[in-house]
Amino acid sequence: MSVRPLKIRPAIIGNWKMNGSGKEIKLVSRFADFVNKHKIAADVMICPPATLIDRAGLAVKGSKLRIGAQNCHNEPSGAHTGDISATMLKDAGARAVIVGHSERRTGYDETDKQVRQKAQAVIDQGLQAIICLGETRQQFNKGQTLQVVGRQLRGSLPSSATPQNTLIAYEPVWAIGSGRTPKPDDIIKVHTHLRKTLLKLHPKAGAKFKILYGGSVSAANASTILALENVNGALVGGASLSFKDFTAILRSV
């Protein structure tokens, strides 16, 4: 089976996690100005906490920078105290939703099935699902990475997924927030395996899905990581909270 990479427009997505308050809307506006002024050869998005989506959406109006969310419930509405649906996120101005981040899979025991249901709910709203997967340090040490991410991808990807409505983000759990990244060859191996799995699941469209890398992407390592085969962008945590670091990553596409 051919896994020769197609030329795919990359995506750089910032995940602010549980960080940021009203005063950080200024940072969103600065990112929007930067994206408008520079010819960034990538789709750029910031996923702030849910409390800021509305204000961030207004701050980027008319710009190429888009706003996304970090999680959602799989139902459109109902008796789910404290939860937020994809319908509500869309209404607030989100254009995409991260689902299955390892901090949700680990902290809230989210299963592949739940991630798939959430991704489906996102797609049903006409938004993009950003499906995260990745192995733990223990699984990496045992040589189980390909098996784990292959299983997560098959279990988390809804059958309605297309390259337009779904992005995949490979995020080794041990690389997130640690300042450590896999060796370039290891990233290539995983992304090629994910590409092959996508081609098996979607023989026609599998070659076109964006597969992002996430986990300690920084201004220093972005150009190396983004140039790797089958890496179609990055999901950026900590560095997306800094104007200097995130714009340096955008410049390195």
Q: Which is nearer to ligand PEP, 206 or 215 (CB)?
A: 215
Least Å distance between CB 115 and ligand PEP? 15
Q: Which residues are catalytic?
A: 101, 171
- Is 16 known as a binding-site position? yes
Least Å distance between CB 203 and ligand PEP? 30
What does DSSP assign to residue 39? Answer: -
- Give strand ranges (E) for the chain: 11-15, 43-47, 66-67, 96-99, 128-133, 166-170, 211-214, 233-236
- For 214, list phi and psi in degrees, rounded to 5: -140, 145
**How many angstroms separate the Cα of 155 from the Cα of each of 111, 187, 230?**
9, 21, 21
- Is 237 known as a binding-site position? yes
- Is 15 known as a binding-site position? yes
Cα gap 217→221, rounded to integer Å: 6
- Is 174 known as a binding-site position? no
- Is 238 known as a binding-site position? yes
DSSP per residue over 127-196, as a string? Answer: PEEEEEE---HHHHHTT-HHHHHHHHHHHHS-TT--TTTEEEEE--GGGTTTS----HHHHHHHHHHHHH
Least Å distance between CB 98 and ligand PEP? 8
Measured from each CB, the residue nearest to ligand PEP is 237
Q: Which is nearer to ligand PEP, 126 or 177 (CB)?
A: 177
Q: Which is nearer to ligand PEP, 100 or 214 (CB)?
A: 214
Least Å distance between CB 207 and ligand PEP? 25
Q: Which is nearer to ligand PEP, 85 or 181 (CB)?
A: 181
Provide the binding-site residues for ligand PEP, judged by CB under 6 A. 15, 171, 176-177, 214-217, 235-239
Q: Which residues are annotated as a binding site for substrate?
A: 15-17, 177, 216, 237-238
